[in-house]
Every structure is written in C-alpha cells, then in structure tokens.
Amino acid sequence: MPSCSRATLVSLVVFLVSIASISISGAEEYPPLLQQNNATAFPGNNPAVAGIIFTNTHAYGDVTIKVDVHNNFLGDFTKYWWVYTVTNHTYDPIPGTTNGFSGFETALPFPVPDIADIATPTPPWVIDCCSGLPVEYDITDAAGPGVMPGGVGVFSFTTLPRLIIPSTGWYHTWQFSFQDFIINYPAGNEPEVPDVTSDPGQELCCYLDPTGVWICTILPAGECALHNGIIVSDCAECPPVTGTEQNSWGGIKGLFRE
C-alpha cells in the first residue's frame, strides 16, 4: 500500500472539511432566497426604471397628473410608494382670487393604518382637512399659492403593497376660503390609487405562460417580476390574447402553503 506524507493527509482533511462546510451552508439556505431585482425591464407601458412597477400619465387639458408606483420606499420593500407629479399648464380659474391647483383628492373610500409617509410640494399644505377621504391635499387661498400655471408639484404617500385601481376623486382651487371650480376625474382617465378595500400584499399581473398566452391573475406582491410580467390596474391593459385565471386571494395563499 502506498504511503501518504503528512502534507498529503493534511490537504485531504482540509478538502473534506471544505466539502462538509459547503453542504451545511447549502442546507441552511434552502429553499434559496429570491433575489430582489430592482431594475427589471418591464414590458408594456412599464419603463426600465429602478423601483417603478407601474406608471401612467393623465392629461386634463389644463393639468397633467403622472402616476408612478414604486415597489419600495427608500429601500423598504414592505411598502409601495405612490408618487403623483402634477404639472399645472393653465389652471387658475380667476387669477388674483383663486390660487391655482390647490386641492388634490385621491378619494380612497376609507383610511387604512398602512397609509404613511405623506409628502407635499411645500408647506403649508394640509392633509385630509375637508372631504373625510384620504389622501387629500389642500392649501387655502389665505395660506398661499398652490401649484400655479407653469409649475410642477409632487405629492406622495406609502401603503403596504396593494392592488392598483382608478380614483374617484377630483382637484380644485380655493377662493375666498372655500373650495371652488372642482374638476372630477373623467371616467376612464382617473389617476391610479391603492385598493384599500382588498387585502394588502397582492398585485394584478399579466405574464406570458409557457404556451405564449398572456395570463392575467392576482399574485402575491413581488411574484409578478419573477414571471417577467407587468403589473396592471385592469386585465384589459394586458396584451392580447389574454387568458384569465379566476383565483381568490385565499386560493393564492393556499397555493404557496403547499
């Protein structure tokens, strides 16, 4: 039997220890954690911009509202960040007495505890002062100007990850300390808002199945990107031809428990 040198034996022991270490490490990390890709190139109308999972622009003639929904807030992936960029082209109904775009209502039907991080262009905008519906932004004519013609203002807030639906809200100006010249969002062209009537932690996703058919279904938040899909507010936004899977949120959660 061939003899082994001391150096050879030491090398063999080190090799076996390394193999064991790799095996133990792999066992600790199974199932493997999914890597969060914050710069996925989303197809459809979603841009390849880090963090933005949905975007849409709504033109109302005198005002444009751009909606961007981010899958995180300052790196916190437990939150969606809802950002509304308002460009006021000409909206100031009676210059000298009105104060431009000075009331912005997203009109969520009721508050939920996860609404947070509410931000306005500049103080002294007041939050949820008047309608009783969140999230509402106002600045009275007595307090100062809102977003005036030629100006841009950014409004935002966060929630838990939620489905995206159209708003039923409005915007307006203030005059003589009253809300005035209210413009309701027209049907089919409403800014998108979080769905507070459904459970959080889900997203409506369009993706191609292995046969090349577009599927539209509700998935747990974060799963749409794993399918290289697009997050939509309505299945009608999916490319044709679209198959629809009717899954309840309870059914979806059941699938992931199996």
- Span 65-86, pLDDT tens digits: 999 999 999 999 999 999 999 9
Give the CA angle between residues 105, 110, 115 to the nearest 5°.
Answer: 75
pLDDT range class, residue 18, cuts 50, 70, 90: very low
Determine how β-strand 242-244 pairs with β-strand 214-220. Answer: parallel
pLDDT exceeds cutoff 80 at 17: no
Q: What integer pLDDT is reported at residue 74 of this predicted model?
A: 93
pLDDT exceeds cutoff 80 at 255: no
Mean pLDDT of 218-232: 93
pLDDT exceeds cutoff 90 at 172: yes
175 or 9: which leads in pLDDT: 175
Which residues does 255 contact at the CB level (< 8 Å), separation at least 6? none
Q: What integer pLDDT is reported at residue 50 of this predicted model?
A: 55
State how far the Cα of 193 lies from the Cα of 168, in Å rounded to an integer: 9
Q: What integer pLDDT is reported at residue 124 of this predicted model?
A: 84
**Cβ(40)–Cβ(223) below 8 Å:** no
Q: Around Cβ 70, how many Cβ atoms within 10 Å?
A: 22
- Paired tokens of 196: 């507070």
Residue 136: closest CA among 126, 149, 124: 126
Point out the least confidently predicted range of 99-103, 154-158, 227-231: 227-231
pLDDT exceeds cutoff 50 at 232: yes
Q: What integer pLDDT is reported at residue 141 of this predicted model?
A: 96
What 3-state class would DSSP assign to 160?
A: coil
Mean pLDDT of 175-192: 96
Residue 1 CA, chain-centre distance (Å), reads 69
pTM above 0.85, yes or no: no
CATH numbers and ranges of domains, the chain: 52-194 (2.60.40), 202-257 (no CATH)
**Cβ(151)–Cβ(88) below 8 Å:** yes
Reported as a single tens digit per residue, the pLDDT across 101-155 is: 999 999 999 999 999 999 999 888 999 999 999 999 999 999 999 999 999 999 9
Q: What integer pLDDT is reported at residue 241 of this predicted model?
A: 54
For the chain, the average pLDDT equals 81
Q: What integer pLDDT is reported at residue 224 of this predicted model?
A: 93
Alpha helices in 81-234, H assignment, sequence order: 223-226
Mean pLDDT of 91-95: 98
- Paired tokens of 108: 């969520």
State how far the Cα of 115 lies from the Cα of 108, in Å rounded to an integer: 10
Which residues does 226 contact at the CB level (< 8 Å), separation at least 6? 34
- Paired tokens of 247: 């899954």
What 3-state class would DSSP assign to 19?
A: helix
pLDDT exceeds cutoff 50 at 195: yes
33 or 105: which leads in pLDDT: 105
pLDDT exceeds cutoff 50 at 41: no
pLDDT range class, residue 240, cuts 50, 70, 90: confident
**21 burial level (CB within 10 Å; 0-12, 13-18, 19+):** exposed
